[in-house]
Amino acid sequence: MKEIGHWINGKMVAGTSGKFADVFNPATGEVQARVALASVAELDAAVADAAIAQVKWGATNPQRRARVMMEMVRLLNRDMDALAEALSSEHGKTIPDAKGDIQRGLEVIEYCIGAPQMLKGEFTDSAGPGIDMYSMRQPLGVAAGITPFNFPAMIPMWKMGPALACGNAFILKPSERAPTVPLMLAALMKEAGLPDGVLQVINGDKVSVDAILDNPTIAGIGFVGSTPIAEYIYGRGCSNGKRVQCFGGAKNHMIIMPDADLDLAADALVGAGYGAAGERCMAISVAVPVGEETANALIEKLIPRIEKLKVGPYTSGNDVDYGPVVTAAAKANILRLVESGVADGAKLVVDGRGFKLQGYEDGFFVGPHLFDHVTTDMEIYRKEIFGPVLSVMRATTYEEALGYAMDNEYGNGTAIYTRDGDTARDFANRINVGMIGINVPIPVPLAYHTFGGWKKSSFGDLNQHGPDSFRFYTRTKTITARWPSGIKEGASLNFKPME
Ligand code: NAD
């Protein structure tokens, strides 16, 4: 059995804890490897080495650090196929989707080439007599990232790119369900010129996450994953005095107005609802058509599109729209929620429960499901399903539809489909959600903007990537300097303004 270890001090090392987790091929259901789960001692030793390596890296001029990012972009493009293959084999998503995952991470690395500009401080000359005042951005020291299974390339890069470009050492604890690509990224960073020890990839479970939370050397933590874990990490990390940002789960609504182009809306819903088997934090899981006519026409357009979806292994190439979900437990949970939807009285208009794929009977495939007449009290509405299940919740007015999205506890992304500028503008202004699409179903901002939700989808003050990431991974220091120092003022005990 293949064993996956850690990346420590510039090389792969085997785990020493004696604990492992199975890594599946979700298409076949087979265990394809086992990944080491780090102990507290392994994590602490890697952090101690990272702290030593950080001193020199933090003092390296930002342009040289940026050149590592520039070379990393070239290497990612060179190895795109190999990365996508490794990603799909552990996650299950199709190759084009895996390449999108890598590309969206690469774009953040590309953005980090601009680090010298982002890290420039501020300067005021003659802030007082002979006094200059300036502020500089310094790295936190050692930062850590804890990442989910669903974007094994993109989210680690969203974290490591800005953290490293700012001069930090970085400890990455990827998902134990898809550990290979993060390790490949670390090897590419080394090839790009990153000194050993500056990036450590430690595989593990709750034990290593808790070790990160309690390690006094780690100054900042970026987390992405489900909301209960986000809340836990935010609370424990903050109470240990760390800077913490946590991005959690989602229930993303799309409002479809009576004037919308319904073909466009139906295509968008199919892509955003079922792409990556619904395992995206920006997936649309609730469609809210306004008016009975809109709802009926939309359902009519959705059904044939959904029934045409091809579900299969990534190895089938372009013939497949989406692959399996990540584990047998994820599949069981999705199917349990589908049953609860039926029991609660929602109308299952596309029923994927009987889905079977010849030759892949043990794979974690879930057929596409479409529910109509979903209401807010149902479990399928209240829970993040994270599978290929779209719920239609009918509204009679725009205000009612808006209210559903506003009252939902999550606030990651949302979209509206309309031809009316007034309605779109009102929606964008009033909605309490972080990322809004207007006739765009998955409004994931580009690298130079920031990504983050509201409400229970995000904990902490700063978003991911874009300018916020440079703020998150640095600390501001402000210096007041007087040259020459020969000015004699005499002692003053008053707290006085600058003259
Ligand atoms: P998860 O919360 O199970 O795991 C995320 C990370 O936390 C992993 O590294 C895992 O090892 C660790 N972890 C799991 N249980 C833990 C525990 N009890 N204590 C400490 N650490 C623990 O999430 P997942 O299933 O890997 O990913 C899917 C979730 O991530 C979904 O809820 C999805 O919406 C969310 N997500 C959010 C965003 C966003 O930007 N808001 C992006 C992608 C995914």
Each of the 499 residues of the chain gets a pLDDT tens digit; together they read 999 999 999 999 999 999 999 999 999 999 999 999 999 999 999 999 999 999 999 999 999 999 999 999 999 999 999 999 999 999 999 999 999 999 999 999 999 999 999 999 999 999 998 899 999 999 999 999 999 999 999 999 999 999 999 999 999 999 999 999 999 999 999 999 999 999 999 999 999 999 999 999 999 999 999 999 999 999 999 999 999 999 999 999 999 999 999 999 999 999 999 999 999 999 999 999 999 999 999 999 999 999 999 999 999 987 899 999 999 999 999 999 999 999 999 999 999 999 999 999 999 999 999 999 999 999 999 999 999 999 999 999 999 999 999 999 999 999 999 999 999 999 999 999 999 999 999 899 999 999 999 999 999 999 999 999 999 999 999 999 997 765 666 777 877 776 6
**Closest atom of ligand 1 relative to the 227 alpha carbon:** 32
| Residue 409 CB contacts under 8 Å (≥ 6 apart), including other chains | 251, 455, 456
Q: Which of the listed residues 172, 234, 281, 334 should we mutate to test ligand 1's pocket, taking the one with most ligand atoms within 8 A of CB?
A: 281
Give me 267's structure tokens: 């295509």
Burial 336-367 (b: 16+ CB within 10 A, else e): ebbeebeeeebebebebeeeeeeebeebbbbb
- Asked whether residue 80 is assigned to any structural domain, the reply reads yes
- How high is the pLDDT of residue 347? 98
- Looking at the fold, whether 314 and 430 belong to one and the same domain comes out as yes
The CB-side HSE value for 167 (13 A sphere, CA atoms) comes to: 23
Pocket test for ligand 1, best of 201, 223, 229 (most atoms within 8 A of CB): 229
386 pocket-lining for ligand 1 (C-beta < 6 Å)? yes
What's at 88, amino acid-wise?
A: S
Residue 355 has what DSSP assignment?
A: -
Q: How far is the CA of 146 from the centre of ligand 1 (A)?
A: 8
- Together in a domain, 368 and 269: yes
Same domain, 214 and 266: no
Give a yes or no: residue 289 inside a domain.
yes
Count other C-beta atoms under 10 Å from residue 207's C-beta: 15
Number of domains the chain is built from: 2
* Residue range(s) defining the domain that contains residue 362: 252-438
CA 156 – ligand 1 centroid, Å: 13
Ligand 1: centre distance to CA 208 (Å): 14
Backbone angles phi, psi at 345, to 5 degrees: 100, 5
Are residue 235 and residue 289 in the same domain, yes or no? no
Buried b (16+ CB within 10 A) or exposed e, 58-79: beeebeebbebbebbbebbeeb
Integer Cα distance of 499 and 493 in angstroms:
16
Separation between Cα atoms, residue 400 and residue 204, nearest integer Å: 44
- Residue whose CA lies nearest to ligand 1 atom number 38: 281
Query: 232 and 139, same structural domain?
Result: yes
Identify whether residues 325 and 358 lie together within a single domain. Answer: yes
d(CA 246, ligand 1 centre) in Å: 10
Strand locations in 373-452 (E)? 389-392, 410-411, 413-417, 435-438
Question: Is 269 found in the same domain as 127?
Answer: no
The backbone torsions φ and ψ at residue 21, rounded to the nearest 5 degrees and listed phi first, read -125, 150
What six digits make up the tokens of 293? 């006519």
Residue 127 φ/ψ, nearest 5 degrees: -70, -15
pTM above 0.75, yes or no: yes
Asked if residue 496 is part of any domain, the answer here is: no
Write down the residue that tokens 């000194």 correspond to.
195
| 96/26 same-domain check | yes
Residues 381 and 342 both lie in one domain: yes
Tokens for 130, please give them. Answer: 């002979």
Task: List Cβ neighbours of 217 (8 Å cut-off, separation of 6 or more).
Answer: 47, 48, 51, 141, 142
Q: Per the domain annotation, does 67 fall within a domain? A: yes
- With a 6 Å cutoff on the Cβ, whether 249 touches ligand 1 is yes
pLDDT at 495: 77
Token readout for 413 is 């992304």
Cis peptide before 484 (omega within 30 of 0): yes
Residue 455 neighbours by CB under 8 Å, 6+ apart: 408, 409, 410, 411, 432, 433
Active-site residue, 246 included = no
Structure tokens at 108: 């953040």
In a shared domain, residues 233 and 208: yes
Return the structure tokens found at 58: 């933090």
What CATH number corresponds to the domain at position 392? 3.40.309.10
Please report whether residue 319 resides in a domain.
yes
Phi, psi of 335 (to 5 degrees): -65, -30
Note whether residue 447 is domain-resident: no
Give me the pLDDT at residue 493, please: 80
Pair (386, 423) in one structural domain = yes
Kindly report the number of other CB atoms within 10 A of residue 213's CB atom: 22
Q: Which residues contact 235 (CB under 8 A, 6 or more apart)?
A: none
Q: Using a 6 Å cutoff on CB, does residue 281 contact ligand 1?
A: yes
Is residue 44 classed as helix, strand or coil in its secondary structure?
helix
Burial of 436 (0-12, 13-18, 19+ CB in 10 A): middle
Residue 354 and residue 422 share a domain = yes
What is the atom index within ligand 1 of the atom nearest the CA of 386?
A: 31
